[in-house]
Structure 1
């Protein structure tokens, strides 16, 4: 627990490190810019997930859902193999 200066009224209020904590004096959100950044980041993350080629949608047919699960599995396997090879190359002496 700590205190944070309100960006709106300039007075100090108790702050529990939550993005939604409000000022005790004016009621303004104390971490307004941080909250806006987190909301923007969450929206961008959702957009990125939905653009992924193997993203499974609720309205996909069973065949498509299973195909995307298989695709996700093989993609993960591919990335794992590439990572291990890169690690082995980097770990070689000399």
Structure 2
């Protein structure tokens, strides 16, 4: 699939395919693919959020910690499910 990317250096439009690092045909500057950059930032953000989650099970955790984190995850999901049920109930009752 071909796409057009504007060179940030010389403002020339370049038609590229998504095959690795692309260079501007006019000045030779490396083109920044904004779509790939957004996807990379999103993946980095997701990984950072996953690392911050207190119930993430790491490979170095002991059996007790793994069990405790699994119980914590289950408790969290039960709590959120109950809250969602009450929110749904409050939305349905007035009707």
Query: Normalised by the size of structure 2, how large is the TM-score?
Result: 0.70
TM-superposed deviation, 1:74: 1.6
Secondary structure of the 1:14 match is strand
Which segment drifts farther, 2-11 or 62-71?
A: 2-11
Contact residue 7 and residue 24 of structure 2 kept, 8 A = no
Contact residue 4 and residue 16 of structure 2 kept, 8 A = yes
1:31 aligns with 2:33: yes
Match of 2:65 in 1: 64
Match of 1:82 in 2: 83
Which segment drifts farther, 46-55 or 60-69?
A: 46-55
When the two structures are aligned, how many residues end up with a matched partner?
A: 91
Measured against aligned partners, the alpha-carbon deviations of 1:7-65 in whole angstroms (never above 9, x if no partner) come to: 1232211245x5x6523422513335971x55444334333222222111110011211
Whole-Å Cα distance in 2 between the matches of residues 57 and 80 of structure 1?
Answer: 25
> Unaligned 5+ residue runs, structure 2?
none
Query: Normalised by the size of structure 1, how large is the TM-score?
Result: 0.71
Per the alignment, do residues 3 and 47 of structure 1 end up closer, same or farther by CA in structure 2, a change over 3 Å counting?
Answer: closer
Whole-Å Cα distance in 1 between the matches of residues 58 and 44 of structure 2?
Answer: 17
